[in-house]
Amino acid sequence: MGTKDFNLVDKMIAGWRLSKVLGLIKKNDKVLDLGCGSQGYFLNFIKNKIKIGYGLDYDVENRTEGNLIFIKLILKNKLPKEVKSVDKIVMLAVLEHLEIDSVGNLMNQFKNILNKKGQIILTTPTPMSKPLLEILAKLNIINRQEIADHKKYYDKKSMIKIAVENGFKLVSYKLFQMGLNSVVVFEKN
């Protein structure tokens, strides 16, 4: 399911996530937004601040818009060769949709394209959010497909495990939305 299918509540939640990571993007950063959605909302929001932005998603059309490059990508594939090096990799509400056994491979690919001191910035719902999200989805308040596609809900302990197993360090873990969501920052060791 792509972001074009979001209802008003989904869009409000997505905007809340975006507000939590905006301050982590620095002027002239090179940014990769994995799971950017069909509109590339986050990259379009920061395009005047960054040097270049790559938006990767299965639901995006290949196109270039100024300093933004959008590439259609099925996550089972390797990252495209056009993405050579970046300062920040952003995944907003993406990790929970990935097959658990694919996360390590993806992190290794990230390590290869991240500059020294590069960061992975992500948001993901916490285990505490699962029952609420499922109720809201059943009531059609948020998108059912989106919630049904969640593979795992991550807590701080699981974020530390991902970092350690893949050669990163967890530099920040913050909860928002009353503990239902988290903002996580990994840095290259």
Read off the DSSP letter of residue 108: H
In the chain, the amino acid numbered 77 is N
The set of residues, in sequence order, having a beta carbon less than 8 Å from that of 39 and lying 6+ positions away, is 3, 4
Q: Which amino acid is at 69?
A: I
How far is CA 20 from each of CA 74, 102, 111, 153, rounded to the nearest angstrom? Answer: 26, 26, 23, 19
- pLDDT digit string (tens) for 40-54? 989 999 999 999 999
pLDDT value at residue 45 = 92
Residue 6 has pLDDT above 80, yes or no: no
Percent of the chain with pLDDT over 90: 76
The pLDDT tens digits for 91-136 are: 999 999 999 999 999 999 999 999 999 999 999 999 999 999 999 9
In whole angstroms, what separates CA 35 from the centre of its chain?
Answer: 6
Q: Is 109 helix (H, G, I), strand (E, B) or coil?
A: helix
- Res 77: pLDDT: 65
